Structure 1
Amino acid sequence: MRFAIFVLAALCFPPAFVHAEGPQATIDRRIAVTIDDLPWQRMADTPPDALQGRHDALMAQLRMAGVPVVGFVNEDKLEVDGQLQPARVKMLEDWLDDGHALDNHTYGHVDLHVVGMPAYQAAILRGERVLRPMLAARGMTPRWFRNPYLRAGRTAEDKAALAAFLAEHGYRLAPVTVDNGEWVWAFAYARVLDGQPDTAEREALLERLRLGYVPYMLNKLDYYERQSQALLGYALPQIWLLHANELNAVAYAELIAGAKRRGYRFVTLDEAMRDPAYARTDGYHGRYGPSWLHRWAMAEKKPKAFYAGEPVVPKWVLDLAGVDSE
């Protein structure tokens, strides 16, 4: 049965997106892992009696993988009806106890392009009221900021204003180069897990999602490596976007192992950001939040063909997640 499910999952990916695994000695593949939406991505939709066990499972996956991680916190998720929940604060302490870094992802996961700059700046400051003293108790300070939805400003003026505000408060923007639809797979997984009876059919569907998720993500990694080579002429130290969710609580260690089989070594966000490419101009001024590799390509006015070939989330996964697109 397991083999049959694996074959079925594999068929969901067009052959053009499947690449042979194995390191190529001529390419220095480095990548930093960032995990957003701490302490838990779908906090409001997760059964309260399941939250701790799922968090514990994710922490176990992180320990199995054994690579550096920066987690980005939404402080509103620490509260219920405005009241701070000690058990949720303890979830963040678990990340620090395991040696991971924690940084700011705003209070409320707000969209800069919707709320405007003053409200966005307020959400950044409100998003460090627990985080900053928690880190100070360990002799640390928050250092990185991750834009919700990767939306970083629609004008050069807004981008400059945000950069100046972040610098004033000791932050640096943490971009993403390996963007992906991981959140769609995770929403699908959680909806099946919590929304269907515990039957063999549900387990088969969860297994199909687990088996499809890892190759999809590795194909995205391959795609952005090719984009880096085409744009920069070398393999950029990548920055990978993931989230704290049910799917990574069962599949994260295998995802990391798959990247290692491709020849990647895992580095800190600080090391990745030392690459001079990260000083390039963000050429995107649209509504959404694409990879920084694509933002840099837009600054160079690359033709539409440059962006072709990106793997997409299969329709059956979109349907299970209840979304139209990634």
Structure 2
Amino acid sequence: MGLAALTGVQAQTAAPVPDRRIAVTIDDLPWQRIDKTPPDQLGDWHRQLMQQLRQAGVPVTGFVNEGKLQGAAAGQALPATQGTVPPERVAMLRDWLEAGFDLGNHTWGHVGLSQTPLAEYQQQILRGEHVLRPLLAEYGRTPRWFRHPYLQAGTTPELRAQLRDFLSAHGYAIAPVTVDNGEWVWAFAYARVLESQPPGPERQATLLRLRKGYVPYMLNKLDYFEQQSIKLLGRNVAQTWLLHANELNAVSYADLVAATRRRGYRFITLDQAMQDPAYRRPDGYTGRYGVSWLHRWAMAEHRPKDFYAGEPVVPRWVMDLAGVESE
């Protein structure tokens, strides 16, 4: 067989290259651990993250917890009245818009739907746009995207339908996540090392170990969900990635994007990702936790337990540094 013929056979038998597209979403704006970050360091960390975002040069949709504008901790109940919002924290959100990114609603206090009555949850959503809606209006936009905190989307079809109708009536669409991950654990570990260890070679070595482990872990998660998509759909869905505004991404985000590009991924907007017909599939998950939409779709098809096997986990040493027992 001639070289030309052999090449033709190889072309016919080679596995097709998956269509690799992904939309980045970043939760917990203006800053994930804003109640624990020293005020004199917050501005510097924010500027570092914005520099990383500009360096990476890909579309991003950020999701705002307005309670963090007032320094409220995650899960804090709604205050009786609207508190004072420091202008420098609103300026942090404005930086995202000035950089060309979009902003969505992540509730006021980052409350989980599994622990919150629907009426209170709806008020959290409305309170979560007191600053966001007029800020977006300055740029000729309106809030369009809603992200469930903890990815808790409702434990019954009826609850999900009621929330979806409420969101639609207020101009929101739900922003799903297919590439779920334990990035927050790595970030908590990074922040705790910064807070608890004195400056010096030992701390620097630990921070470097975290940075060097973080990107491969995230790529392994991406590979896993790509294969899950191919097993479920026969193709790679337009993926949606969950990250957070934190110290770790303020030093690692551009490296993560570059490594993902080397994997063959093209970065797209959330709007473009939602054009994939897979996002119209039924949600078969009725648990109280948050899971990838790929797994929700698999549950709707009653896939066996071994379908979900092999998902990468956060190493124990990282969880110990983060002070958490589970992802």
Identify whether the pair has TM-score above 0.5, normalized to the shorter chain: yes
Match of 1:210 in 2: 211
Match of 1:47 in 2: 38
Is the counterpart of residue 70 in structure 1 residue 61 in structure 2? yes
Question: Does the residue aligned with 1:43 lie in a helix, a strand or coil?
Answer: coil
How far 1:26 sits from its partner (Å)?
A: 2.3
Q: Does 1:107 align with 2:108?
A: yes
Check if 1:58 corresponds to 2:49: yes
| Residue number in structure 1 paired with 2:311 | 310
- What's the CA shift for 1:115? 1.1
Query: In structure 1, how many angstroms separate the alpha carbons of the residues matched to 2:16 and 2:96?
Result: 34
Task: Identify the residue that residue 142 of structure 1 maps to in structure 2.
Answer: 143
The equivalent of 1:26 in structure 2 is: 17
For the 8 Å contact 2:107–2:124, the answer to whether it is kept is: yes
Structure of higher CA gyration radius: 2
1:25–1:304 Cα change, 3 Å = closer
Q: Report the Cα offset of residue 47 of structure 1.
A: 1.0
Q: How far has the Cα of 1:237 moved from its partner?
A: 0.4
- Kept in 1, the 8 Å contact 2:193–2:203? The answer is yes
Deviation readout 1:72-109 (Å, 9 max, x if unpaired): 00000111483211000000000000000011000000
Q: Which residue in the other structure is 1:85 paired with? A: 86
Taking the aligned partners of 1:25 and 1:259, their CA distance within structure 2 comes to 19
How far residue 40 of structure 1 moved from its aligned partner, in angstroms, is 0.1
The match for 2:244 is 243
Q: Runs ≥4 in structure 1, deviation > 2 angstroms?
A: none
**Which digits, 9 at most, give the CA deviation of each residue in 1:8-43, with x for residues without a partner?**
xxxxxxxxxxxxxxxx97221000000000000000
Q: Which runs of 5+ in 2 are unaligned?
A: 1-14, 73-82
Letter in 1 for 2:51: A
* Aligned counterparts of 1:137 and 1:316: Cα–Cα separation in 2: 46
Partners of 1:310 and 1:289 in 2: CA distance? 15
**Residue equivalent to 2:132:** 131
Which residue in the other structure is 1:3 paired with?
Answer: none
Q: Which residue of 1 aligns with 2:121?
A: 120
One of 27, 44, 65 as aligned partner of 1:36: 27
Percent identity, aligned pairs only, is 68
Matches of 2:297 and 2:19 in 1, distance apart?
Answer: 21
Using the size of structure 1 for normalisation, the TM-score is 0.92
Q: Which residue of 1 aligns with 2:191?
A: 190
Distance 2:62 2:166 in 1: 21
How far off its partner does 1:289 sit? Answer: 0.4
Counterpart amino acid of residue 75 in structure 1: E
Coordinate RMSD, CA, aligned: 0.9
Amino acid at match of 2:266: R
Could you tell me how far apart the structure 1 residues matched to 2:269 and 2:60 are?
7
The answer to whether the Cα contact below 8 Å between 2:34 and 2:71 also exists between their aligned partners in 1 is: no
Deviation at 1:252, TM superposition (A): 0.2
1:123-154 Cα deviation digits (max 9, x unpaired) = 00000000000011111001000000000000
**Residue 298 of structure 1: aligned partner:** 299
Partner of 2:266: 265
Aligned residue for 1:70, secondary structure, equals strand
Tell me the SS of whatever aligns to 1:102: strand
> Contact 2:186–2:322 (CA<8 Å) still a contact in 1?
yes
Which residue is 2:256 aligned to? 255
The 1-side partners of 2:180 and 2:194 are apart by 25
Give the counterpart letter for 2:175 in structure 1.
A
User: Which structure 1 segments of 5+ residues have no match?
Assistant: 1-23
Distance 1:44 1:98 in 2: 25
What TM-score comes out, normalization by structure 2 length? Answer: 0.92
What is the number of equivalent residue pairs in this alignment?
303
The separation in 1 between residues aligned to 2:48 and 2:219, in whole angstroms, is 22
Q: Which letter maps to 1:63?
A: R
Alpha-carbon distance in structure 2 between the residues aligned to 1:45 and 1:215: 27
Quick one: structure 1 residues 25 and 48, their matched pair in 2 at CA, closer, same or farther if it must change by over 3 Å? farther
Kindly provide the CA deviation profile for residues 174-199 of structure 1, in whole angstroms up to 9, marking residues without a partner as x.
Answer: 00000000000000000001111001
